[in-house]
Structure formats: C-alpha cells, structure tokens
Amino acid sequence: MPRETEVEYLSPTLVPTPESNVELTDSADLTDTHPVSVTSYSLVEGAGDRVAVHFVSGTPECFGAHATVDETTSDVTVRVSVGTLPAAVGMACTMEVVDATLDLSLDAPLGDRTVRNG
C-alpha cells in the first residue's frame, strides 16, 4: 500500500499588507478541506501579537479558511486549509482563484521568530 506523501512548502516571506487581498474570517466548520501554502505574511499594524497570512483561496461567497498555529521560541508554524462554507454546500460555486488574507492571533509577539508552513 503506497504511503501518502506530505507536501513540503517553502517558508512564507514578510511583505507589506496587500491591499487587494480578500480578508477571510477563520471558519472551523468547513467541508471538503485541503491544505494550502501560505505564500507570505504581514505584521498587523499596532498589534505585536498578530500576523496576517496570505494564500490562494476560492471566492469568499463559497469558500473559507481555517488555520492552526504552533509556536515555539524560534518558530511560528501555520497550517491553513481552505474548504466549502456550510451555507454554500450544494450551491453552484465558480472556480475562481482569489488572493486571500487571514488574521491570526499569536500567544506572544512575533519578534524575531520565523514564520513557517506546517
């Protein structure tokens, strides 16, 4: 029986907050989820314990995102999954790709820790 292979993503890069990204709210009740790579992240202005992660998703009318964060003294590892919103199950959704942003709270300020894909 073949083993599932894990996809290894590159570490996201620090960028200024993209103005054109669609801002999503974390949703834990998604269906048909799949992991996505965080391509970049931004510091949330005025909040040292928050970062905004940027990734590709579907249209916000049908699709949402859920993230988990694991923190150590040297790293912040982020896992983002996208999937169908409960209200969109059974709806006809377009397969458009959008650049999305999700705001995440950290237990401590990011400081000089490295943000990584999980």
Domain boundaries, the chain: 21-117
What sign does the CA torsion over 14, 113, 118, 85 have? negative
The model's pLDDT over 60-108, given as tens digits with 9 standing for 90+, comes to 999 999 999 999 999 999 999 999 999 999 999 988 999 999 999 999 9
The model's pLDDT over 101-112, given as tens digits with 9 standing for 90+, comes to 999 999 999 999
Q: How many CB atoms lie within 10 A of CB 77?
A: 17
Burial class from Cβ neighbours inside 10 Å (0-12, 13-18, 19+) for residue 26 reads middle
Tokens of 85: 């919103």
